[in-house]
Amino acid sequence: MRKTLSLFLTICFAGTIATAIGAGDVKAAAGTFGIRGGFDFDADQVVVGFQAELGRFLEITRFAPSVDFGFGNDLTTIAFNGDFRIYLTPPGSSAELYGSAGPTLLIVDTQGGNSDSEVGLTLSGGVKFGAGKGRTYNLEGRFGFENMPEFRLLFGIYF
C-alpha cells in the first residue's frame, strides 16, 4: 500500500511540475479549481469531489487531477485521479470536448472496517462549457479498467 501510494503521488507531482514548467508563467500554471458530483453506476454510490486543471503540458494536453469520494452500498471509496486531457473545440462552438487518461489510486473501505487499495487506469470523456459569471462547467463520463469503478457520470463547476 505504502509503495503504491508513493508511486502514484510521484506521478502526480511530476505531472504538476512539468505542467508548471511547460506553462511558461505562474498564472497559467496555477490553473483552475472546482467541485463536482455524480453517481457511480458500478457500486451504486453518490460521488462528490474536487477537480483542478493545472495548465498545459507538451502544448496539447492539460494535467487535470481530481479526488472523488463515493458513499453508499455499505462502501466508502476515495479515488485519486491523475488525468492528462486533450481538448477539441468544434468550429463556431464555445464548448470544448475532451478525452483523458491517467492513473487512479482507489481506496475502498467497507462498513465492517476492512480497507483495500488498487492502482489502475481510468479513461474519461466529457464536455466543458461556460455559463456566465466567469464560471466553467463540465460533464464527464469516467470508465475504469481492472478493479476501478466501471462507469461514473460527474457534473462539475470550475471557479
Q: Domain of 45: which CATH number? A: 2.40.160.20
Q: How confident is the model at residue 71 (pLDDT cuts 50, 70, 90)?
A: very high
pLDDT at 70 over 60: yes
pLDDT tens for each residue of 117-134: 999 999 999 999 988 777
In this predicted model, which residue has the larger pLDDT, 20 or 146? 146
Average pLDDT of the chain to the nearest whole number: 84
Q: Where are the beta strands (DSSP E) in the chain?
A: 32-40, 45-53, 56-57, 61-72, 75-88, 96-110, 115-130, 136-144, 151-158
What does the alpha-carbon distance between residue 148 and residue 26 come to, in Å, rounded to a whole number? 34
pLDDT tens for each residue of 31-66: 789 999 999 998 899 999 999 998 887 778 999 999
pLDDT at 114: 87
For residue 142, give its domain range. 2-158
Identify whether the C-beta of residue 95 lies closer than 8 Å to the C-beta of residue 127: yes
- The total domain count for the chain is 1
pTM score: 0.80
Residue type at position 104:
T
Q: Hunting for cell 506521478 — which residue is that? A: 11
